[in-house]
A and B are shown apart, each in its own frame.
Chain A
Amino acid sequence: MKIKALYFARYREVLGVDAERLEGDFKVLDDVRQALLAKGGVYAVLAEQNLMCARNEELCRLDEPVEDGDELAFFPPVTGG
């Protein structure tokens, strides 16, 4: 399965990239996060308790099922308004 991961705001800065493609056997969004955490180093930012995520431009939880071709996003709590 191939997915695209996007990062925003502080996470984008910490990771040094705004997007990357990943391939693996993912069932839910947290599987993707765990694969990223396993890379070590700066990816530890994705372990933050208040991390937010989205699947195909919709907010979701970490137990959201994922499918091939999905656009996933990880970001810190939003601060608009």
Chain B
Amino acid sequence: MGVRVQQAAFDPGAEVNAMHAANVGVGAVVGFVGYVRDFNDGREVAGMFLEHYPGMTEKALAKIVVEAEQRWPLLKVEVLHRIGALEPGEPIVFVGVASAHRQAAFDACNFIMDYLKTRAPFWKKENTQEGPRWVEGKQSDQEAAGRW
């Protein structure tokens, strides 16, 4: 299990490939990549800044991964989240899950993202033409996390 919180860019393809890592017991790898969009909530977004709570962020992500490992038979889990200044088109988050069969990998990846969006201490501040604005938490994200 790995949790990384970093400013540096990452290569989504390399991250997905590393999930197999010559483990022939792995029959399924599910990788989710989240990207910065250039449009959100009715306004063009020129970039964003990701604030977080150093120390708690890593603990919160590790706790989510442990919970996923308790719920599904997983062989490898990686969570990578970027912080700091990001531009549209840049990857912002990666969640990779490897397991023997696909259903556990699909479900665990979905679960980790739903929990990350409602429990990991990150906050996005977007730069729009009308100035900077904090992204508001969404009720739909709360509901998505509630189904697990």
A interface list, Cβ under 8 A from B: 6, 8-10, 50, 54, 57-59, 73, 75-81
B53 touches A57 (CB 8 A): yes
B58's nearest neighbour on chain A, judged by CB, is A57
- Closest Cβ of chain A to B22, distance in Å, is 30
B19 at the interface (CB under 8 A from A): no
Q: How many residues of B contact A (CB 8 A)?
A: 27
Tell me the dominant secondary structure on chain B's binding face.
mixed
Q: Decide yes or no: A77 and B122 within 8 Å by CB, A8-B53, A54-B53 being known contacts.
A: no
**Residue of B53, B113, B125, B134 touching A6 (CB-CB under 8 A):** B53
Residues of B within 8 A of A80 (CB): 50, 52, 81, 93, 116-117, 120-124
A79 touches B123 (CB 8 A): yes
Residues of B within 8 A of A6 (CB): 53
The distance in angstroms between the C-alpha atoms of A50 and B116, with both chains bound, is: 17
Residues of A within 8 A of B125 (CB): 9
Residues of B within 8 A of A9 (CB): 51, 123, 125, 134
B123 touches A8 (CB 8 A): yes
- Closest Cβ of chain B to A28, distance in Å, is 20
B73 at the interface (CB under 8 A from A): no
B121 touches A75 (CB 8 A): yes
**Residue of B34, B55, B93, B117 touching A78 (CB-CB under 8 A):** B117
B118 at the interface (CB under 8 A from A): yes
- Closest Cβ of chain B to A40, distance in Å, is 23
B122 touches A78 (CB 8 A): yes
A76 touches B134 (CB 8 A): yes
